[in-house]
């Protein structure tokens, strides 16, 4: 994996955390555990707000020609998200694209 910039690393971390929380919400629905869903949905909302702020920073940097590299961010999301249901569905690795 290529060396990541601090911005790329922050984007990956926050996005994967958001996907983890979406996966946890799905687990709450699957189990009929409405309190767990309530709890994780609140955490997901806060994580999504942080991701929004980082995405805005990335957008501003990209308009100046030095934004995050999509191929690096995508590869890192696939790798770090491989443990989470939502990430595996949205970002399958090469073995999942058959």
Q: What was the pLDDT predicted at 14? A: 97
| Residue 98: per-residue pLDDT | 47
Distance CA 30, CA 24 (A): 10
Burial of 22 (0-12, 13-18, 19+ CB in 10 A): buried
Question: CA 57, CA 36: separation in Å to the nearest integer?
Answer: 32
pLDDT at position 96: 59
Residue ranges covered by each domain of the chain: 6-89
Per-residue pLDDT of the chain (98 residues; tens, 9 = 90+): 569 999 999 999 999 999 999 999 999 999 999 999 999 999 999 999 999 999 999 999 999 999 999 999 999 999 999 999 999 999 998 765 54
């Amino acid at each position: 994996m290529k060396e990541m910039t601090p911005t790329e690393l922050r984007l990956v971390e926050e996005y994967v955390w958001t996907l983890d929380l979406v996966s946890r919400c799905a687990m709450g629905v699957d189990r009929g555990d409405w309190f767990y869903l309530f709890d994780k949905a609140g955490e997901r909302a806060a994580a999504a707000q942080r991701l929004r702020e980082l995405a805005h920073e990335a957008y501003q940097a990209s308009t100046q020609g030095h934004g995050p590299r999509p191929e690096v961010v995508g590869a890192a999301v696939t790798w770090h998200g491989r443990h989470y249901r939502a990430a595996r569905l949205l970002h399958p690795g090469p073995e999942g694209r058959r």
